[in-house]
Amino acid sequence: MTRKFTFLGTATSSGVPVLGCDCPTCTSSDPRDRRQRSAALITLAAGRILIDTPPEIRYQLLQVHATDSLRELPIRAVLYTHHHADHIFGFDDIRGLCRIIKDALPVYCREDTAQFIRHTFAYAFDERLAAWPPGLVPRVSIHCFTDGEPFTILGQTIVPIALEHNMPVTGFRLGELAYLTDVGSIPDESWQYLEGVRILILSCLRPEKPHPGHITLQEALAIIERIKPQRAYLTHLGHEMKHARISQQLPAGVMLAFDGLSFEF
């Protein structure tokens, strides 16, 4: 079975360009230096799985739909890595996905993210609106996962992996692929789930200046060195990561992701 991974967005929380910034990346004419907030799409034979709903998710999915119909192969589930604004504030646009499938959309997340969703988007759970047709409010069925305990969506086994950020974050392993965003560090007990990963997607904020919640390029390369995937893609990139300049510094098999990049796995 051919599966496809698509980067819908590859920016850190500010997006790139950063509002009001005139640095070489933010003024670059290279389309790979224009990044929306981070999200990803997994395309399987039986449907698609969306990872996160950033503020630009509507636009990102319109781009997908333009060439690869979301009606013919709908999104059947959403996975949340965590509930920071840059990963969740496109939640309302899930209603468009409900309209396509004429049903509630299953959402998989940690318990703390489930609580955040129920609180922040309380209208989506208002029983007075329950009789409204699909598409007027986001309608979801929430499934909470536990780190390290696999679950299956559309025949695909997914292993949630605990990561440290400035709040708990979940990475996802699908076969030999792992998607790890907003990584501040990888806890000791999580390394076992990364053995045998051949395609690693890893967040990387900026070249070297340390950040309390995000690894730098040096730290990302050390993690890649330990996991030893065949290929690694860096995502959740800040404006310090000018595509052409940073790409020249990367070892073989490591590359910067960009919005719209996809590959089969």
Q: Is 84 in the site for Zn ion (CB under 5 A)?
A: yes
Q: Is 23 in the site for Zn ion (CB under 5 A)?
A: yes
Strand partners, 255: 233
- Residue number with CB closer to Zn ion (73 or 167): 167
Least distance from C-beta 81 to Zn ion, angstroms? 8
128: which residues sit within 8 A by CB, 6+ positions away? Answer: none
- Residue number with CB closer to Zn ion (84 or 139): 84
Window of 28-36, 60-68, 78-86, 89-97 that interacts with Zn ion by CB under 5 A: 78-86
- Residue number with CB closer to Zn ion (200 or 241): 241
Tokens 């640095």, located at residue: 23
Window of 13-21, 50-58, 66-74, 216-224 that interacts with Zn ion by CB under 5 A: 13-21
C-alpha distances in angstroms, 13 versus 57, 143, 222? 14, 26, 23
Q: Is 26 in the site for Zn ion (CB under 5 A)?
A: yes
Q: Is 21 in the site for Zn ion (CB under 5 A)?
A: yes
| Per-residue exposure over 12-31, b if at least 16 CB sit within 10 Å of its own CB, e if not | bbebbbeeeeeeebbebeee
19: which residues sit within 8 A by CB, 6+ positions away? Answer: none
- Burial of residue 2, with CB atoms counted within 10 A of its CB: 0-12 exposed, 13-18 middle, 19 or more buried: exposed
Q: Cis bond leading into 17, ω under 30°?
A: yes
Residues in the chain: 265
- Residue number with CB closer to Zn ion (93 or 182): 182
R_g over Cα of the chain = 18
Window of 3-11, 21-29, 106-114, 249-257 that interacts with Zn ion by CB under 5 A: 21-29
Window 234-263: contact mask with Zn ion (x via CB under 5 A): -----x------------------------
Q: Is 77 in the site for Zn ion (CB under 5 A)?
A: no
Q: Is 202 in the site for Zn ion (CB under 5 A)?
A: no
Least distance from C-beta 99 to Zn ion, angstroms? 27
Determine the Cα–Cα distance for residues 265 and 106; give it in Å rounded to an integer.
24
- Residue number with CB closer to Zn ion (139 or 242): 242
Question: Which residue in 33, 52, 56, 86 binds Zn ion (CB under 5 A)?
Answer: 86
Determine the Cα–Cα distance for residues 134 and 30; give it in Å rounded to an integer.
40
Residues at the site binding Zn ion, with contacts judged by CB under 5 A:
13, 18, 21, 23, 26, 84, 86, 182, 239
